[in-house]
Amino acid sequence: MKNILKIFILVSMGLFLNSCYYDSFPQDIDDGSGGGGEIPEVVSYSNDIMPLWEGQCVACHQGSVPPDLRPDNSYDSLLNGFVEPNDSGNSILYLSLIHADNVSPMPTPNTKWPASQTDLVKAWIDQGAEDN
C-alpha cells in the first residue's frame, strides 16, 4: 500500500508538472444520472467502453503504466490480465473502478466513477468482453 501511495504521489506530481488538470476530471465524467443508466443489450467496446478511457485514464495509462489505455492498444492490453471475459468479479479492471479491496482504486483513491459507468464496464465484461 505504501508503494502504491508513493507511485500515486509521483505520478500526480508528474501530472502537475505537465499541467494536466485533475479538476477537469469528475465534472465531465459524472453524468448526474446517479447510476442505473441504460445498459445496451449488446455493449460495444469501441462505442461504449473505449471512449470512457479518454477523459481520466489515458492521462496516466499511455504506455508506461499498464494497462495501456490508448485507443489503439486498450483492448489487447486490458485482455492481457485486467479483464476476465464473463467474470467481472475477477476482473481487476472492474474491481479497480469500484474500489474493491486488494486492487488499486481508479481513477484515483478519492474519485470513483458513477454506477452508470461502472455498470457499463461490468456488462461488457459479463457479455464476454468482445472486441466489438
In the complex, the residues that contact ligand HEC under the rule CB under 6 A are: 4, 7, 11-12, 15, 56-57, 59-61, 65, 67, 82, 92-93, 96, 103-104, 106-108
CB of 14 to ligand HEC, least distance (A): 8
Among candidates 72, 97, 70, 71, which has minimal Cα distance to 83?
Answer: 97
Nearer to ligand HEC, 5 or 42 (CB): 5
Amino acid at 90: N
Q: Report, in Å, the least distance between residue 42 CB and ligand HEC.
A: 21
Q: Which residue, 44 or 99, has its beta carbon nearer to ligand HEC?
A: 99
The distance of closest approach from Cβ of residue 108 to ligand HEC in the complex, given in angstroms and rounded to an integer, is: 6
Nearest distance, CB of residue 104 and ligand HEC, angstroms: 3
97: Cβ contacts below 8 Å, ≥ 6 apart: 106, 112, 113, 117, 118, 121
Residue 20 CB partners (closer than 8 Å, separation 6+): 59
Toward ligand HEC, which CB reaches closer, 41 or 54? 54
Query: What whole-number distance in Å separates Cα of residue 32 and Cα of residue 5?
Result: 29
Residue closest to 120 by CA, chosen among 38, 29, 28, 34: 38
- Between 67 and 120, whose beta carbon lies closer to ligand HEC? 67
